[in-house]
A and B are shown apart, each in its own frame.
Chain A
Amino acid sequence: MARVFVRLRLRLLANSLTGSGAQLLGLVLTALGATAVAVGGFAAAASARLGDGADVVALLAAMSLVLAWFTFPLIGFGSGTTIDPKALVGLPLPRRALMTGLAAAALVGPGTAITASIMAGAVIGLAAGWATVPVLLVGAALQTLVCMALSRAITTFLGGALRSRRGRDLRVLAVFVIVLLPQTLRFFLPRAADLDELRSVTRVIGWIPLVWPTRAMVAAGGREWGLGLLLLALSVGVVALLLWWWAHSLDRLLTTAEAGASGAAREGDPTEEPLFGRALRWLPRDATGGVAARELRLSWRDPRRRVALISSILLPFIVAGAFVSSGGIDQPAVVYLCVVLVVLGGGKAFNQLGIDGSSWTVHEAVGSDLRRDLDGKAIAAATIQGVELLLVALILAVPSGGWAELAPAVLFAVALTGPQLGIGNMASLRAPIPMPTSGTNLWGSASPGDGCLSGVLVLVAMVALLVVAAPFAVGALLLPDALARLVLALVALPCGLVTYRRVTSAAVRWAEPRRPEILGKLLTRPG
């Protein structure tokens, strides 16, 4: 049975390589990244020696692997190549056979390869004579099993709840918090600058049962045989406990009904204008205003856009936190960091159609005015970004005393928004990449490789934006005072607007005769 599942997994992996050229490029880049992690992890773990941090490296690596196995399946990083047990619900498979097959399949793939590579490095780094090798090998194998069993158990346990629409929405937010939390905490925790401080961290980590196999390896490396063997025995217990949890969750997943749409009706006044309501009444009542209203409404309702919005709102606090923790907040020039927000915000602007995906068909079906569509999206993006950058500038001005620089900094940022959105429109039309929607398969996501490709696109567009902004940045640096910079910023404003209009016009001219092909790239199916 295990062989059948492994073959199925290999087939799914092979099928993910049959995408378009662009997807393949993305996959190759993702594979290169994964290889770099595997090789780098192996080298780091293998090169450290006992007494010289091998224990610290091994425990930190093990904890990172546990966290990765815990979060990646929830994020949907598996690109649809993981077997969804729900798809097997109709087959007469005993639970033991099903679990054996799923476990064997889960152990085939890039995740296991990376884990095995890093754990192999740890075996080399911790080895203290041939006598220790068997214990180290058993420990490495158990650590891999713990990771696999944890991953399967958690996704199976949460599977039922996360399949509902609201559950999927919450998943996106939860994953975002998981990713963001370490970055935020970094500013508020003492810095682990030397080995002793790091060792004190790993001493705490070592109490977590999920890394006991690695702790057993560390003990064996230090020839503490009793402790090592005890931890190995306890690790077997941890694996057994995780497998029991997985089996129990699997039974529940396969024998209970799917959660329904659970979409409680939103509060709404039927006498109001449906799309604009009271909050958006300032928008023009035409196609441009309609697109802007839709974008602003979706910025909160669509979980993917909500994550982007929340991250933009949190960014100022993270930036301020970084400067407070580094002691560099007393410089008035810090206010200009709000301009950086515009550059970072480009990530959203550079794939404006990709976030719509198949829904862009609505625009094509009615034969909409592309220029108005893009202007509407620009109004929505500029509105959100305008509020954000004002917030950032104020937050940075208070502790730094940079009030004199506030006006020029905000104006420079607003001016840069023009080329940002213009270049964003060009990139969005020339290389639209559909963003994965949260599908019903928790274990999968859309087009593998697209995430990496999207990253490359953002990078190229950001470079173009920096080139456009360079003359004003140099000018601002050379000018003697805030007043002179304010004058330069006032000059930059119309330049930004003209750049937006010119680049957007060029983008629309290029795109008009290619609209069916652009739509084709946004659809996940042919036709």
Chain B
Amino acid sequence: MIEMAVQATGLLKQFDRKVAVAGLDLAVPRGSLFGLVGPNGAGKTTSMRMMTGLLRPDGGQVVVGGLSVWPDPVPVKRRIGILLEDDELFGRLTGPELLEFIGLLRGQERAETRRRSEELLGILGLADDHATLIVDYSHGMHKKIALAAALLHGPNVLFLDEPFEAVDPISARAIRSLLDQHRRAGGTIVMSSHVMELVESMCDEVAVIHQGRVVASGALDEVRGPDATMEDAFVRLVGAPMSTTGNLQWLGSSSD
């Protein structure tokens, strides 16, 4: 029987009258790179925040590494890494300062934190910017320092929301190499992305989320089904039209 690193059952979340997640079920096998895909507003980020203990669900359960996330998410947070958004980092610290600070919050041994920080900053190409404030980083650099912060304590499970967004190809390769190493060491990764080619080339399993529910989940080949590419399968699964010909004939008709 396959051991699950993350198991979500019937997750529910509603903001005012808007249902963001409507009974989401998810099972992420241990050691896999699991892709979460879905259109904008499908509920990917909200689901991830509920799975990582940052947002309390209105209903349902999440188990990570055999521990229930709710009602007490702290023991789970010790074992997982979360990629935070740009504005969720302390922008007025430098990269090394942020990593040392997070190491202290996690109660890590200082020399070990320092060693890991230097290694991560070097691999991610941030070592030369050791004295630059994070607020002055580019968007891609933000992603990289957030990834370093998520990896610093060697988590078992990584939750990455759009980790390759606005990252240049060289940095993307560095990030992929880091994620490969994490997996080789037995780690599990849950990653959301809009880039289907990326999901297709990196993930073992994938779940397509639409309107707060999982509409398809499983190995890549299973989800892709009869379609040629994952993008075609995605469009089919979320019910969007395959083609827009016949409409919008006025496009490009401006005479000015």
Chain A interface residues toward B at CB < 8 A: 92, 165, 261-263, 265-268, 270, 273-275, 285-287, 289-291, 293-294, 297-298, 301-302, 356-359, 361-368, 437, 513, 516-517, 519-520, 524, 526-527
From the candidates B76, B87, B94, B138, name the one contacting A274 in the complex (CB within 8 A): B94
Tell me whether B162 is interfacial, beta carbon within 8 Å: no
Chain B residues lying within 8 Å of A261, measured Cβ to Cβ, are 135-138
| A359 contacts B52, C-beta separation under 8 Å | no
Please determine whether A268 and B89 come into contact, CB atoms closer than 8 angstroms.
Answer: no
Query: Contact between A290 and B71 (Cβ–Cβ < 8 Å)?
Result: no
Known: A359-B88, A361-B88, A365-B77. A301 touches B133 (CB 8 A): yes
Q: Is the CB of B87 within 8 A of A358?
A: yes
Q: How far is the CA of A477 from the CA of B93 in the complex (A)?
A: 46
Most B CB contacts (10 A, CB to CB) among A92, A361, A520 go to A361
CB distance from B83 to the nearest CB of A (A): 9
A365-B82 contact, Cβ under 8 Å, with A301-B133, A516-B56: yes
B contact residues around A367 at 8 Å (CB):
53, 73-78
Q: How far is the CB of A172 from chain B (nearest CB, A)?
A: 13
Within 8 A of A (CB), among B123-142: 129-133, 135-138
* B55 on the A face (CB < 8 A): yes
Provide the bound-state CA to CA distance between A363 and B90, in Å: 11
Bound: A263/B132 CA distance, A? 7
Please measure, in the bound complex, the distance between the C-alpha atom of A502 and the C-alpha atom of B85, giving whole angstroms.
Answer: 35
Task: Give me the 5 closest cross-chain CB pairs, A-B, nearest first.
Answer: A263-B136, A290-B104, A367-B77, A274-B96, A361-B88
Return chain A residues, CB-CB under 8 Å to B97.
274-275, 294, 297
Known: A285-B110, A298-B92, A527-B45. A266 touches B104 (CB 8 A): no
B39 at interface by CB-CB < 8 Å: no
Asked if A366 contacts B102 (CB within 8 A), the reply is: yes
> Which residues of chain A are within 8 angstroms of B131 by Cβ–Cβ distance?
265-268, 270
**Cβ-based interface call for B65 (8 A):** no
Which residue of chain A has the shortest Cβ distance to B256 in the bound complex? A92
**CB <8 Å contact, B133 and A266:** yes
How far apart are the CA atoms of A165 and B82 in the complex, in Å? 27
A302-B92, A361-B84, A367-B74 known; A526+B104 contact, CB < 8 A: no
Q: Which B residues are within 8 Å of any A CB, using their own CB?
A: 15, 20, 45-46, 49, 52-56, 71, 73-78, 82, 84-85, 87-94, 96-97, 99-102, 104-107, 110, 114, 117, 129-133, 135-138, 149, 256
Give B72 Cβ to nearest chain A Cβ, in Å: 9
- Chain A residue nearest in CB terms to B88: A361
In the complex the two chains form, what is the Cα distance from A363 to B131 in whole Å?
Answer: 23
**Given that A298-B90, A362-B84, A367-B73 are known contacts, is A290 also in contact with B55, CB under 8 Å in the complex?**
no
Give the residues in chain B near A366, CB-CB below 8 Å: 77-78, 102, 105-106
User: Is B54's CB under 8 angstroms from A365's CB?
Assistant: yes
Min CB–CB distance B237 → chain A (angstroms) = 23
Contact (A527, B136) CB under 8 Å given A362-B84, A365-B77: no
Q: State whether A268 touches B94 (Cβ < 8 A).
A: yes
The distance in angstroms between the C-alpha atoms of A302 and B90, with both chains bound, is 10
* Beta-carbon contact of B133 and A290 below 8 Å: no
Residues on B with beta carbons closer than 8 Å to the beta carbon of A298: 90, 92-93
CB distance from B73 to the nearest CB of A (A): 7
Using Cβ atoms and an 8 Å threshold, which residues of chain A touch B105? 287, 290-291, 362-363, 366, 368
Once the chains bind, are A294 and B90 in contact (CB under 8 Å)? yes
Alpha-carbon distance A367/B153, docked complex (angstroms): 13
12 A-B pairs besides A265-B129, A285-B110, A362-B89 with CB distance below 8 A are A263-B133, A268-B130, A273-B110, A290-B101, A290-B105, A294-B90, A359-B88, A359-B91, A362-B88, A367-B73, A516-B56, A527-B15
Q: Quick one: closest A residue to B127, CB to CB?
A: A270
Residues on B with beta carbons closer than 8 Å to the beta carbon of A362: 84, 88-90, 101-102, 105, 149
B106 to chain A, nearest CB (A): 5
Min Cβ gap B52→A in Å is 7
A165 to B137, CA, bound (A): 11
**Neighbour of A361 across the interface among B54, B76, B78, B92, CB < 8 A:** B54
Q: Contacting B130 at CB < 8 Å: which of A270, A289, A368, A516?
A: A270
- Asked if A273 contacts B100 (CB within 8 A), the reply is yes
Looking at the complex, which one of A265, A274, A301, A358 makes contact with B88 (CB distance below 8 Å)? A358
Which of A291, A293, A520 interacts with B55 by CB under 8 Å?
A520
- Neighbouring B residues of A356 by C-beta, 8 Å: 90
Name 28 A/B residue pairs within 8 A (Cβ), A-sorted. A165-B136, A263-B135, A265-B132, A266-B133, A267-B131, A268-B130, A273-B110, A273-B114, A274-B130, A287-B107, A290-B100, A297-B93, A358-B87, A359-B88, A362-B89, A362-B101, A362-B105, A365-B52, A366-B102, A367-B53, A367-B77, A367-B78, A368-B105, A519-B54, A519-B55, A526-B46, A527-B20, A527-B45
